[in-house]
Amino acid sequence: MSKRSGDERIADFKEVNEGISEQNAVLEALRCMDCVRPQCTKGCPVNIDIPAFIRAIAEEDFKGAAAIIKKDNMLPAICGRVCPQENQCEGLCVLGNKEKPVRIGALERFVADRERKAGTTLPEIMPPTGKRVAVVGSGPAGITAAAELARYGHSVTVFESLHEAGGVLTYGIPEFRLPKEIVKAEIQQILDMGVELKLNHIAGRTVSVEELLEFDAVFLGTGAGLPSFMGIEGENFNGVYSANEFLTRVNLMHANAFPEYDTPVMKGSRVAVVGGGNVAMDSARVSRRMGAEVYLIYRRREEDLPARDEEVRNAVEEGVEFLCCANPVKILGGPVVTGIECVRMEMCKPDESGRPCPVPLKGDDAVFTLDVDVVIEAIGQSPNPLLVSLIEGLERGRRGNVVVDGSGLTSVDRIYAGGDIATGAATVIEAMGTARKAAQSINEMLMKE
């Protein structure tokens, strides 16, 4: 896949990866061996019939390829861009043993982009059942559940608290990885299937729990939106952000285009991003695009970074400076941030989980400070408690997640859950997988009546 150079990229918010050409897609598809027992499919959380869609590309039947994917995945242009394919389908592709795995993700994206331009066809919808289902949240989990339920002929209403649908796809993942126009287009398809979307509706407040329970079933897809803070000194100084706030200001509210857009953000001239996952990479890369020098502070080693390899590489190419084996202990300044104090870390022997844990080094030279004017904490999110804490009898796990059984059913009759609210912060495709399973269970439950 062709990629623009790092220097060019940080001058704008346009997409980094440019996709593959039709010719290359067909050539890549021809590499697939159409295995008798395809491993790739097992690695896909929604079990797309991968060999079949690749075969269709090889035969230049692009529309057919799209239809095969859409049987299992209504958001292929999104997944083709943000799925960790290297650990999923591509990670299991048998060709990976000898040469390179088939580039399944790139092919998925190619098919979806082509279909979007050529005009999409909607999946078949079964006759109306007269049953009503409420879906809370319009992230990948909610959207997927809504599409699946609509397909079964149920009447679906999606409640979303923000003014735009998409969840993390809209407010979290930046434009240069996932253009918002694509998110909008893929969500539009589910509206075209007859799903009703109610924006500015906060379930638990705008719509009470009792009102939700008037539906025949409820699907909770409220995500893991609660940001964690480190709990160190100086954390409430002006200029300290959670990654969620920083990314929401830029992605959802377009603060990068202030004052054309009304929402401000402190861009920072020197920014410290704390964390090592995809969220940290996104925050760092957004800051680079707004002109800051960026340090990424991570407490383990470089090889332990939990972010996708590709995103780490992208961040390096874009000039993000990595400070691994370091941990912030104090934010300096007041009331405005002027710096961050960190301690160097050393890795001890692997613990039971097999991961070596970081321990702070002793001594004066173990401590160092960086002059920064913005600090972004990207150290994790937990399940959003707003609605789930209001539902009586709803069992929750240790981390605040909603407990579900194998079918996605919660401890409350007729209430199902999927996505990050059930699993804790995970991935787009896993959210979709659990949502689809829950939607199927809801359908079975409703049709038994």
Ligand X SMILES: Cc1cc2nc3c(=O)[nH]c(=O)nc-3n(C[C@H](O)[C@H](O)[C@H](O)COP(=O)(O)OP(=O)(O)OC[C@H]3O[C@@H](n4cnc5c(N)ncnc54)[C@H](O)[C@@H]3O)c2cc1C
Q: Report the candidate in 126, 249, 246, 140 with the shortest Cα–Cα distance to residue 193.
A: 126
User: CA-CA distance, 224 to 204, in Å (whole number)?
Assistant: 16
Residue environment code for 353-379, b if the CB has 16+ CB neighbours within 10 A, otherwise e:
eeeeebebeeeeeeeeebebbbbbbbb
**Minimum CB–partner distance for residue 247 and ligand X (Å):** 5
Question: One-letter amino acid identity for 264?
Answer: P
Residue of the chain from 279, 312, 402, 438 that contacts ligand X (CB under 6 A): 279
In the shown chain, the binding pattern of residues 24 to 53 toward ligand X, with x for contact by CB under 6 A and - for none, equals ------------------------------
Peptide bond before 335: cis, by omega within 30 degrees of 0? yes
Residue of the chain from 105, 204, 339, 433 that contacts ligand X (CB under 6 A): 204
Residue 218 β-bridge partners: 134, 415
DSSP state string for 139-184: SHHHHHHHHHHHHTT-EEEEE-SSSSS-THHHHTS-TTTS-HHHHH
Instruction: Work out what residue 50 binds among ligand SF4, ligand X, other proteins, none; the CB cut-off runs from 5 to 8 Å by kind.
Output: ligand SF4
Q: Count CA within 13 A, CB hemisphere, residue 149.
A: 33
User: CA-CA distance, 116 to 167, in Å (whole number)?
Assistant: 21
Chain centre to alpha carbon of residue 321: 24
Q: Per rule CB under 6 A, is residue 387 in the interface with ligand X?
A: yes
Q: Per rule CB under 6 A, is residue 408 in the interface with ligand X?
A: no
CA 125 vs CA 77, 148, 309, 442: distances in Å: 22, 10, 40, 16
Instruction: Work out what residue 35 binds among other proteins, ligand X, ligand SF4, none; the CB cut-off runs from 5 to 8 Å by kind.
Output: ligand SF4
Is residue 353 within 8 A of residue 323, CB to CB? The reply is: no
Between 234 and 358, CB nearer to other proteins = 234
Stretch that binds ligand X, among 234-242, 333-341, 383-391, 439-447 (CB under 6 A): 383-391
Q: Per rule CB under 6 A, is residue 93 in the interface with ligand SF4?
A: yes
Is residue 150 within 8 A of residue 194, CB to CB? The reply is: yes
Kindly identify the residues of this chain, within the stretch 174-203, that bind ligand X according to CB under 6 A: 202-203
Q: Report the candidate in 145, 126, 128, 46 with the shortest Cα–Cα distance to residue 415.
A: 145
Q: How many residues bind ligand X (CB under 6 A)?
A: 40
Residue of the chain from 41, 88, 161, 410 that contacts ligand X (CB under 6 A): 161
Is residue 20 within 8 A of residue 1, CB to CB? The reply is: yes
Residue of the chain from 20, 32, 46, 435 that contacts ligand SF4 (CB under 6 A): 32
Kindly identify the residues of this chain, within the stretch 191-250, that bind ligand SF4 according to CB under 6 A: none
Kindly identify the residues of this chain, within the stretch 99-158, that bind ligand SF4 according to CB under 6 A: 102, 104
**Minimum CB–partner distance for residue 124 and ligand SF4 (Å):** 27
Backbone angles phi, psi at 56, to 5 degrees: -60, -40
Is residue 327 within 8 A of residue 297, CB to CB? The reply is: yes
Q: Report the candidate in 10, 4, 13 with the shortest Cα–Cα distance to residue 247.
A: 13
Instruction: Work out what residue 198 binds among ligand X, ligand SF4, other proteins, none; the CB cut-off runs from 5 to 8 Å by kind.
Output: other proteins
Residue of the chain from 38, 174, 204, 383 that contacts ligand SF4 (CB under 6 A): 38
Residue 415 β-bridge partners: 218
What DSSP character marks residue 206? Answer: T
**Minimum CB–partner distance for residue 429 and ligand SF4 (Å):** 16
**Minimum CB–partner distance for residue 445 and ligand X (Å):** 21
What DSSP character marks residue 277? Answer: S
Q: What is the chain's Cα-based Rg?
A: 23
Question: Could you tell me where the beta strands, DSSP code E, fall in 205-290?
Answer: 217-220, 226-227, 240-242, 270-274
**Minimum CB–partner distance for residue 198 and other proteins (Å):** 8
Length of the chain: 449
Instruction: Work out what residue 40 binds among ligand SF4, other proteins, ligand X, none; the CB cut-off runs from 5 to 8 Å by kind.
Output: ligand SF4
Between 227 and 360, CB nearer to ligand X = 227
Instruction: Work out what residue 51 binds among ligand X, other proteins, ligand SF4, none; the CB cut-off runs from 5 to 8 Å by kind.
Output: ligand SF4
**Minimum CB–partner distance for residue 207 and ligand X (Å):** 8
Residue of the chain from 40, 65, 297, 312 that contacts ligand SF4 (CB under 6 A): 40
> What is the binding site for other proteins (CB under 8 A)?
161-163, 171, 198-202, 205-208, 225-227, 229, 235-236, 238-239, 241-242, 244-245, 248-249, 253-254, 258-264, 266, 335, 384-386
**Minimum CB–partner distance for residue 60 and ligand X (Å):** 30
Residue of the chain from 85, 88, 138, 443 that contacts ligand X (CB under 6 A): 138
Judged by the rule CB under 6 A, the positions of this chain that interact with ligand X are 82-83, 136-142, 159-162, 167-168, 172-173, 202-204, 221-223, 225, 247, 278-279, 282, 384, 386-387, 419-421, 425-429, 431
Judged by the rule CB under 6 A, the positions of this chain that interact with ligand SF4 are 32-35, 38-40, 50-51, 54, 93-95, 102, 104
